[in-house]
A and B are shown apart, each in its own frame.
Chain A
Amino acid sequence: MALTGLFLCLFLVGHLLGNLQLIFITGEEGKRAFNEYAYFMTHNPFVKVLSYVTYLSILFHAIDGFLLTIKNKKARPVPYAYNNPGANSSMPSRYMALLGSLILIFIVTHMANFWWKMKFSSDPMPLHQVVVANPQSGAEETFYITHTGDYVPTSAFVGEGEMPAAMEVRNGTEFYLKEVNLKRGEGYKDLHSVVLSFFGHDKSKDGVPEKNEMALFAVLFYVIAMMVLAFHLWHGFASAFQSLGLNHKAYNKMIKMAGQAFAIIVPALFAIIPILLFMNK
Chain B
Amino acid sequence: MASKFINITLKIWRQKNSQAKGSMETYKLDHVSTDSSFLEMLDQLNEQLINERKEPIAFDHDCREGICGMCSLYINGRAHGPDTGITTCQLHMRMFKDGDTIYVEPWRSAAFPVIKDLVVDRSAFDRIQQAGGFVSVNTSGRTIDANSIPVPKTDADKAFEAAACIGCGACVATCKNGSAMLFVGAKVSQYALLPQGKVEAKNRVLNMVRQMDEEGFGNCTNTGACEIECPKGISLENIARMNREFLTAALSNED
* Chain A residues in the interface with B (C-beta under 8 A): 68, 71-72, 74-85, 87-90, 93-94, 96, 235, 238-239, 242-247, 249
Contact = CB atoms under 8 A, between A and B. Distances in A.
Given A75-B110, A81-B105, A89 B77 contact: no
Given A77-B110, A80-B108, A244-B243, 4 more contacts: A74-B218, A75-B218, A88-B223, A90-B223
A242 B222 contact: yes
A81 B103 contact: yes
Nearest to A93: B223
Contacts, number: 109
B49 interface: no
Contact of A76 (B77, B108, B224): B108
Interface string B186-199: 00000000000000
Given A76-B218, A239-B222, A87 B11 contact: no
A88 B110 CA distance: 22
B76 A243 contact: no
Interface string B225-255: 1001100000011011111110100000000
Contacts of A87: 77-78, 82, 228
A85 B77 CA distance: 7
Interface stretch (B37-45, B89-97, B126-134, B175-183): B175-183
A71 B82 CA distance: 28
Contacts of A78: 108
A83 B216 CA distance: 21
Contacts of B221: 68, 72, 93, 96, 239
B156 interface: no
Nearest to A245: B244
Contacts of A79: 108
Interface of B: 11, 13, 24, 74, 76-78, 82, 103, 105, 108-111, 174, 176-179, 216-225, 228-229, 236-237, 239-245, 247
24 contacts: A72-B177, A72-B178, A72-B218, A72-B219, A72-B221, A75-B178, A75-B216, A76-B108, A76-B109, A76-B176, A76-B218, A81-B13, A81-B103, A81-B105, A83-B77, A84-B76, A84-B77, A89-B224, A96-B221, A235-B223, A239-B221, A242-B239, A243-B222, A247-B236
A249 B237 CA distance: 9
Contacts of A90: 223-224
A93 B224 contact: yes
A81 B216 CA distance: 21
Nearest to B248: A245
A219 B229 CA distance: 42
A243 B185 CA distance: 12
Nearest to A67: B219
Given A72-B178, A89-B176, A247 B78 contact: no
Nearest to A238: B222
Nearest to B244: A245
Contacts of A76: 108-110, 176-178, 218
B34 to A, nearest CB: 22
A242 B239 CA distance: 8
Contacts of A235: 222-223
A238 B216 CA distance: 26
Contacts of A96: 221
Nearest to B218: A75
Given A75-B110, A245-B243, A88 B222 contact: no
Contacts of B216: 74-75
Contacts of B111: 75
B19 to A, nearest CB: 14
A89 to B, nearest CB: 4
A117 to B, nearest CB: 36
A82 B222 CA distance: 22
A252 to B, nearest CB: 8
A80 B105 contact: yes
Nearest to B24: A81
A88 B218 contact: no
A43 B178 CA distance: 47
B105 A82 contact: yes
B178 A88 contact: no
A80 B77 contact: yes
Contacts of A247: 236-237, 239-241
Contacts of A245: 240-245, 247
A76 B216 CA distance: 9
B240 A242 contact: yes
Name the 3 nearest CB pairs between A and B, nearest first. A84-B77, A245-B244, A247-B240
A94 B223 contact: yes
B243 A243 contact: yes
B223 A242 contact: no
Contacts of A246: 240
